Amino acid sequence: MNNRVSRKILAVLTILVLTFSLIACGSKKNTVVGAWLQSNSSEVKDEYTFNADRTGTYTNTIYSMSTIDFTYTIEGETISIVMKILGEDTINSYNYKLDGDTLTMTIDGKDVAFQKK
């Protein structure tokens, strides 16, 4: 009987260790959440800010620092951003990848790198 109890306790402890290990690994995962700045010249700067609640803002200096709110979804390696422009929903989908503090999105067939602020 004691052997059965010991096995059950060992099984529960093993499950707990595995669960906490998976949680710890998940917390280190790269995420788009945060502010990302791209500068392709001294005058033009694009900035995306992605919030954890799947909302965000886009700012572009070429349009007098205009800021546009958006929502986004991520499916696999594709990020889809929905912005309301002139009262209409505009959806843009980009392939993306994260490498440390660099977010690269393929925009109009070109890889565009953004640095985390």
Task: Say what the pTM is.
Answer: 0.70
C-alpha–C-alpha distance, residues 74 and 79, integer Å: 5
CB 64 within 8 A of CB 58: no
Alpha helices in 1-117 (DSSP H): 2-27
The ranges assigned to domains in the chain are 1-30, 34-116
Assess if CATH 3.40.50.720 describes domain 34-116. no
C-alpha–C-alpha distance, residues 71 and 55, integer Å: 4
Handedness of CA 26, 98, 37, 50 (dihedral sign): negative
pLDDT digits (tens, 9 = 90+) for 46-102: 899 999 999 999 998 776 668 899 999 999 999 999 999 889 999 999 999 999 999
pLDDT-derived band of residue 27, with 50, 70 and 90 as boundaries? very low
Instruction: Supply φ then ψ for residue 54, to 5 degrees.
Output: 70, 25
Residue 88, classed as helix, strand or coil, is strand
DSSP strand pairing (34-39 vs 45-50): antiparallel
| CA distance readout (Å), 95 to 73, 76, 113 | 12, 9, 12
